[in-house]
Amino acid sequence: MILKNSWVQIHKILLKPEERTGSLPPDTKQVPFEMWDKGFLTKNANIGDEVEVITITGRSVEGTLIAVNPSFMHNYGTFVPEILIIDKMVKTFLFGGDDQ
Amino acid sequence: MKQDNSYAAVIGRKNSIMKTAVGIDYNQYETTNISFDYERLMKETGYSLAQIKKIQYSHGVGQTPLKELPNLSALARKIAPTGYGARIFIKDEAQNDSGSFKARRASIACYHAKKLGFKGVIAATSGNYGAAVASQAAKYGLKCIVVQECYDSSGIGQPEIIEKARACEAYGAEVIQLSVGPELFYTFLTLLETTGYFNASLYTPFGVSGIESLGSELIEDCLSKTGKLPSAVIITNAGGGNLTGTARGIKKMTDEKIQIIGASVNLKGLHMASDHDFNRKSFTTGHTGFGMPFMTNPDRSDVPRSAARALRYIDRYVTVNQGEVFFITETLVALEGIERGPAGNVALAAAFSLAQERKEDEIIIVQETEYTGAGKHHQAQMAFARSHGIDIYFGDPAEEIAGKSIVLPSRIDQIKAVDLDLIKIKQSAIKNQIKDWKKLTATDFVYLIAETNSTPDFVRQTLTELNVDWEEE
């Protein structure tokens, strides 16, 4: 159970594929137009329930509850070793190699 | 009676929603058939350069340092003909509150919204502008909503856009994230209508005139540091506001000819509304997918008449590839000790190539940098691309196919800015402006010359080819 006033994320389908505009590439036309928003839960609920939230600007928005205390987990990604090659290339070209 | 909020009904109310949400009656600037009075719009609805600087300097924006990049210039000279390789400078716009030049645009929009008595501001952006509006809104006690195109249909988001969502929320904004598609505009209009907030569009006179201070400052900074003017200013181009505002600011400082060069990342072949292509590009802005359509049709923006009209000011338009920008972004770290976000370095990659065409005593200025961090970093962007099957390798960047490969230059002399044909772009812009009109007035004729920064003969020839009649005074 997720308690009332918890900070949560909701998801909502705004337009079904058949409701989307005509000027879309075929791959986009096949999928719904979706929305994610965050706010404070107005009633106790469980993940997957249809809920109402009050957003940080005070708007009431309804959608499916998908997360509580939603977190940002983005990072710098897995290491890209090419970056070290670039460093070596430009430093050697400008300042000379280690033996110089 | 309950208001009809269907897609068609909301789009149908577009003009009245915008009039309320921007506070400008654009109709009064319309002149004849296709033309409107751009300068009058800018003058009557914008702010003077002195006012802009006063607003910005008291709100954490502007007066960013202009920095010379001696090692990058030296690297360019190693491969340039003898005596060539201009001095490269960057305006370190990452130092603005919220970390990019977009703070300049947001500062004027938020100041204006507050002055008019709006309770909040809304911006539709997946870029740095969201954080800029959220940061400025915080200073004025305005509520703020940012609408982002963020996820593909698998719910995967570009790391760069996720970081911007985080920044917007950190500054107190509500962030509405959407899947791929132009229907974002429908959501945006609905929000403007239901909240009554100000549309902090990038394309109003406020959003564009806010950048004039950047053009002005780079002239002042360059004169005080070097005693002379730059021969060229290179500007990353997407919607055209950055280029327009910078060029207008420069023109307010000097009558000397300074070449205005636009640079975009080449994303040819990728569809901007494609769910599949969305996460196969490594730049979410500063690319040709925005740069070309907005240059040839500026009024496709979210206001009836865009104040961002790059074709009026641009002298040369070049592209660079994704691999070249990542390479230069890392070179900036390795040789100058300056770590910045890749999207802000598009013009820098072009500058490295174009410096080699200019003499050693010339100065070229790259007019922005942007902040970097988790998600918003060349390491993060390349890792994300690789996880989506993009082939990253060293080779000739000219081989790069957007959406399939990122080719890092295997030799430094392979970094080459590629010229786009401005004549064709101007012809295309004229065609887009004419729409179905068969006859233009003398006012339209003069307007088209200004819109394309061209000559009467060029416009005459283009109109003749399009089978359109016109009058002249």
* B333-375 per-position pLDDT tens digit: 999 999 999 998 999 999 999 999 999 999 999 999 999 999 9
More confident call, B425 vs B300: B425
Residues on chain A touching B179 (C-beta within 8 angstroms) = 31-35
Which of the four pLDDT bands, split at 50, 70 and 90, describes residue B3? confident
pLDDT digits (tens, 9 = 90+) for B63-81: 999 999 999 999 999 999 9
Structure pTM? Answer: 0.96
Closest chain B residue to the Cα of A87, Cα to Cα: B334
pLDDT digits (tens, 9 = 90+) for B432-472: 999 999 999 999 999 999 999 999 999 999 999 999 999 99
pLDDT digits (tens, 9 = 90+) for B129-188: 999 999 999 999 999 999 999 999 999 998 999 999 999 999 999 999 999 999 999 999
B271 pLDDT exceeds 90?
no
Sign of the dihedral defined by the CA atoms of residues A37, A40, A42, A43, in that order: positive
Q: List the helix and strand counts (H, then E) for chain B.
A: 20, 15
CB contact under 8 A, B380 and A74: yes
CB contact under 8 A, A93 and B78: yes
User: Smallest Cα–Cα separation from B61: which of B173, B212, B174?
Assistant: B212
Question: Using CA atoms, how far apart are residues B257 and B253, in angstroms rounded to an integer?
Answer: 11
Contacts for B235 with CB less than 8 Å, ≥ 6 apart: B242, B243, B246, B247, B260, B261, B262, B263, B347, B367, B368
Q: What is the CA radius of gyration of chain A?
A: 24
Question: Using CA atoms, how far apart are residues B1 and B43, in angstroms rounded to an integer?
Answer: 41
Question: Using CA atoms, how far apart are residues A44 and A51, in angstroms rounded to an integer?
Answer: 9
Three-state SS letters, B304-357 = CCCCCCHHHCCCEEEEECHHHHHHHHHHHHHHHCCCCCHHHHHHHHHHHHHHHH
Interface test mutation site (partner B, options A57, A91, A95, max chain B beta carbons within 10 A) = A57
User: Smallest Cα–Cα separation from B180: which of B151, B147, B146?
Assistant: B151
Report the SS3 class of residue B82: coil
Report the SS3 class of residue B403: coil
Interface test mutation site (partner A, options B160, B178, B392, max chain A beta carbons within 10 A) = B178
pLDDT digits (tens, 9 = 90+) for B119-146: 999 999 988 999 999 999 999 999 999 9
Average pLDDT, rounded, for chain B: 95
Tell me the mean pLDDT in the region B25-54: 94
Fold match, B7-54+100-207 / B59-97+208-419? yes
The confidence score (pLDDT) of residue B285 equals 82
Would you call A77 an interface residue with chain B, using a CB distance cutoff of 8 Å? yes
The confidence score (pLDDT) of residue B362 equals 98
Tell me the nearest-neighbour CA distance from A80 into chain B, angstroms: 6
B418 pLDDT exceeds 70?
yes
Alpha helix locations (H) across A1-100?
Answer: 26-29, 82-95
A99 pLDDT exceeds 70?
no
| Percent of chain B predicted with pLDDT > 90 | 89
What the block records as the tokens of B232 is 């060229």
Contacts for B246 with CB less than 8 Å, ≥ 6 apart: B211, B212, B214, B215, B218, B233, B235, B260, B367
Question: Using CA atoms, how far apart are residues B109 and B210, in angstroms rounded to an integer?
Answer: 8
Q: Where are the domains of chain A?
A: 7-74
Between vectors from CA B271 to CA B270 and to CA B273, what angle results, nearest 5°?
145
Tell me the nearest-neighbour CA distance from B6 into chain A, angstroms: 10
The confidence score (pLDDT) of residue B145 equals 98
| Percent of chain A predicted with pLDDT > 90 | 90
Residue B238 DSSP class? S
Residues on chain B touching A62 (C-beta within 8 angstroms) = none
Alpha helix locations (H) across B173-240?
Answer: 184-195, 205-209, 212-226
CB contact under 8 A, B144 and A57: yes
Contacts for B76 with CB less than 8 Å, ≥ 6 apart: B85, B86, B88, B352, B355, B356
Q: Quote ipTM for the complex.
A: 0.96
Interface test mutation site (partner B, options A10, A12, A86, A91, max chain B beta carbons within 10 A) = A86
Q: Where are the domains of chain B?
A: 7-54+100-207, 59-97+208-419, 423-470
Domain B59-97+208-419: give its CATH code: 3.40.50.1100
CB contact under 8 A, B394 and A72: no
Contact B129, B105 (CB under 8 A): yes
Contact B158, B130 (CB under 8 A): no
Residue B86 DSSP class? P
CB contact under 8 A, B408 and A86: yes
CB contact under 8 A, B374 and A15: no
User: Smallest Cα–Cα separation from B379: which of A76, A10, A71, A27?
Assistant: A76
Question: Using CA atoms, how far apart are residues B357 and B310, in angstroms rounded to an integer?
Answer: 24
The architecture in CATH of the region B7-54+100-207 reads: 3-Layer(aba) Sandwich (3.40)
Which amino acid appears at position B317 of this protein? Y
The confidence score (pLDDT) of residue B1 equals 61
Would you call B198 an interface residue with chain A, using a CB distance cutoff of 8 Å? no
Closest chain B residue to the Cα of A37, Cα to Cα: B176
Tell me the nearest-neighbour CA distance from A1 into chain B, angstroms: 25
B7 pLDDT exceeds 50?
yes
The confidence score (pLDDT) of residue B300 equals 87
Contact B233, B250 (CB under 8 A): yes
Tell me the nearest-neighbour CA distance from A29 into chain B, angstroms: 9
Which amino acid appears at position B301 of this protein? S
Residues on chain A touching B175 (C-beta within 8 angstroms) = 37-38
What are the beta bridge partners of residue A2?
A45
